[in-house]
Amino acid sequence: MIAKASVRDYLSFSAIRTYQGCPLRYKFKYIDGIPEDRVSSTLIFGCAIHAALEHYFHQFMAGEPQLPNVPELMDVYQQNWSTEKTILFGSKESRASMDQLAEKMLRNFLASDLSTPTERIVGIEEDIRGELLPGIPDILGRIDLLLESTDVVIRDLKTSRTSWDEDQASESAEQLLLYAELVKEMFPGRTIRLQFAVITKHVDPRIQLVETPWDQHRLQRTKQIVKSVWQSIQGGNFYPNPSPIGCSSCCYRPQCMAWNGT
């Protein structure tokens, strides 16, 4: 069976990840286009923190003499909680507890070196798109921070329950390796470095900068994964892949239970 053509003429890394997590969920979301009616508090919290940091770095890049303070960043954060979807909170979470945590995270960020990058900022939430391999759609991505000094730096901003180490960065490197492959044409001959800026959700949030090395084998492996996923999508291979974590945040459970293979 050949899958119905997706309305999208590109692949995002999150779409690839969705397919790897559950092919049927991918179908409901990206092929059938069924809107998601709920969102996890973790996702919306991370997006709101991202929006606040994006606002901060735009002001920093513009050379504004008065950089945003915590209340200004919290305003941006609050605005980004606006959604018509049902927000699913964890058992020990509430909006108030997450707001308190956000304030601490943003305060610690402003006090850290991460708020004053020494490299030149050349892109914030920079959209990139390009061909990764012949025969598969373009990859579309968004780089949180693109920095330039002697080297070019792709920096991904993360919120995390736990501190990161080099192993965690290495495990998460695939997305940045693909993005590096897409931006290397813009910076011929330059070394591209991959970094994660991590703000933890601890009582006293940690601010970390963790670098992961370029790995050519890993890049080729990731490209092969993307190719295999795309071939599987084109082959119409959609089936439920239940897991406690995946299904608990999935809004397609009614459609999933009604699915009969067609």
Residues that bind ligand SF4 (CB under 6 A): 22, 24-25, 240-242, 246-247, 250, 252-253, 256
Yes or no: say if 210 and 166 are a contact pair by the CB < 8 Å rule: yes
Reading phi first (left if > 0) and then psi (alpha if -120 to 50, else beta), residue 125 is in: left
How many whole angstroms separate alpha carbon 87 and alpha carbon 241?
23
Least distance to ligand SF4 from the beta carbon of 24, Å?
A: 4
Minimum CB separation of residue 103 from ligand SF4 in Å reads 33
Least Å distance between CB 33 and ligand SF4? 15
Q: How far is the CB of 248 from ligand SF4 (least distance, A)?
A: 9
Rounded CA-CA distance 262/225 in Å is 25
Q: Which of the 8 DSSP states describes residue 94?
A: -
Contacts 24+ apart (CB under 8 A), 240-248: 240/22, 240/23, 240/24, 241/21, 241/22, 241/23, 241/24, 241/25, 242/22, 243/21, 243/22, 246/21, 246/22, 246/25
Q: Is 74:51 a contact under the CB 8 Å cutoff? A: no
The distance of closest approach from Cβ of residue 245 to ligand SF4 in the complex, given in angstroms and rounded to an integer, is 9
| Closest CB 4 distance from ligand SF4, rounded Å | 17
Containing 200, the helix (H) or strand (E) segment is: strand 192-200
Give the C-alpha separation, 154 to 134, whole Å. Answer: 24
Beta carbon nearer to ligand SF4, 25 or 155: 25
Nearer to ligand SF4, 130 or 240 (CB): 240
